[in-house]
Amino acid sequence: MRVLGIETSCDETGIAVFDSEQGLLAHEVYSQICLHAAFGGVVPELASRDHVRKLLPMLRKLLADADLASADLDAVAYTAGPGLAGALLVGAAFGRSLAWGLGVPAIGVHHMEGHLLAPMLESDPPRFPFVALLVSGGHTQLVLVNGIGCYRVLGESLDDAAGEAFDKTAKLLGLGYPGGPALAALAAKGDPDRFRFPRPMTGRPGLDFSFSGLKTFTRTTLQQASKGLDQDQLKRLKADIARAFEDAVVDTLVLKCRRAVEQAGVETLVLAGGVSANLQLRARVDRLMAERGGRACYSRLEFCTDNGAMIAYAGWQRLRSGAREALAFEVKPRWPMTEL
């Protein structure tokens, strides 16, 4: 079965074809970063309009690259939520119309289930049961995964998501949008011993997170330590703050991962979502799971952030278990994974 995947929940247009026999046949991602950079964040209406512009040419190129005709597609999967309502509607309308025209089934996929299953596209995929740490711009969750659709949320962020905390902190340090990767690059040059930021909610039991205090900590540290500095010293200060911030987030995430795998009694930890591209986090979960005699799994870097391949794959998993959509469709800008 060949499934087309369409991702338009935020600021990336992603499209891919997954073949249940041959694996991923082709994929394309277009990032709208340039479009939104001047505004310092995603402008929802501009995002929707750009998805409209990009989808059709991207589909044509994708099919040409994979040497396929549209009639070779057996199903269409699209992101139905959570995400920006207008952006979701573009992908949903496009996907449903295409499926209708081709006479094939369509399926609306949960964006976070897409992220969660993305590591299954790799050559040595994780086996159930496992604990997944989902860390994106909108979500931070620890989920016990017993199979496709068998998800139990063990803990989540009570305020900012990890990616959101990276982005907001990056903005405070003048790194622009989207700040996560830039902040991580700057942190690599920072001194790990100059500042120590708090590890929020680690001193009490439980698996929830809270990252919003870290940006206040960043702001006050920057204000206090930057007085009277020349340009070079300011540059060094920002790198040291970036390092302290990244260490605090990574330490906190890893500590809760350890608790979650201990509590669930599993040997596999899956890392997924945009922040799973963070190299320090990847190295730390590798070490954590190696010490426990288990293993950590994550995607190749390009499938950590939003992409169509994860939607095609999750769509195939849903379709093979018999899921089909009625003709009427809706998108769900807010959609707890516990409703799956």
For residue 246, give every residue at least 6 positions away whose Cβ sits within 8 Å of its Cβ, in sequence order, or none. 183, 184, 187, 278, 280
Between CA 159 and CA 164 the distance in angstroms is 10
CB of 141 to ligand KG4, least distance (A): 12
In the complex with ligand KG4, which residue's Cβ is closer, 10 or 142? 10
CB of 43 to ligand KG4, least distance (A): 16
Between CA 59 and CA 205 the distance in angstroms is 48
CB 164 within 8 Å of CB 273: no
- DSSP per-residue codes, 115-137: HHHGGGGSSS---SSEEEEEE-S
What does 157 interact with, of Zn ion, ligand KG4, none (CB < 5 to 8 A by kind)? none
Candidate residues 86, 114, 138, 200; the one interacting with ligand KG4 per rule CB under 6 A: 138
CB of 139 to Zn ion, least distance (A): 8
Give yes or no for residue 160 binding Zn ion (CB under 5 A). no
How many C-beta atoms surround the C-beta of residue 243 within 10 A? 24
Give yes or no for residue 136 binding Zn ion (CB under 5 A). yes
CB of 210 to ligand KG4, least distance (A): 17
Q: Which stretch binds ligand KG4 (CB under 6 A): 20-28, 65-73, 172-180, 324-332?
A: 172-180
CB of 289 to ligand KG4, least distance (A): 19
In the complex with Zn ion, which residue's Cβ is closer, 8 or 136? 136
Give yes or no for residue 180 binding ligand KG4 (CB under 6 A). yes
Q: For 251, list phi and psi in degrees, rounded to 5.
A: -55, -45
Which of the 8 DSSP states describes residue 157? B
Candidate residues 91, 119, 137, 190; the one interacting with ligand KG4 per rule CB under 6 A: 137
For residue 37, give every residue at least 6 positions away whose Cβ sits within 8 Å of its Cβ, in sequence order, or none. 176, 177
Between CA 55 and CA 73 the distance in angstroms is 16
How many residues form the binding site for ligand KG4 (CB under 6 A)? 20
Q: What are the beta bridge partners of residue 101?
A: none
Give yes or no for residue 181 binding ligand KG4 (CB under 6 A). yes
Lay out the sheet containing 2-7: strands in order across.
23-31, 12-19, 2-7, 75-81, 106-110
- Give residues 276-335 in contact with ligand KG4 (rule: CB under 6 A): 277-278, 305-306
**What binding mask, one character per residue, do residues 98-117 give for ligand KG4 by CB under 6 A, x or -?**
-----------------x--
Instruction: Give me 230's structure tokens.
Output: 């020349």
Give yes or no for residue 133 binding ligand KG4 (CB under 6 A). no
Residues in contact with Zn ion by CB under 5 A are 136, 306
Residues in contact with ligand KG4 by CB under 6 A are 10, 115, 136-138, 163, 166-167, 178-181, 184, 273-275, 277-278, 305-306
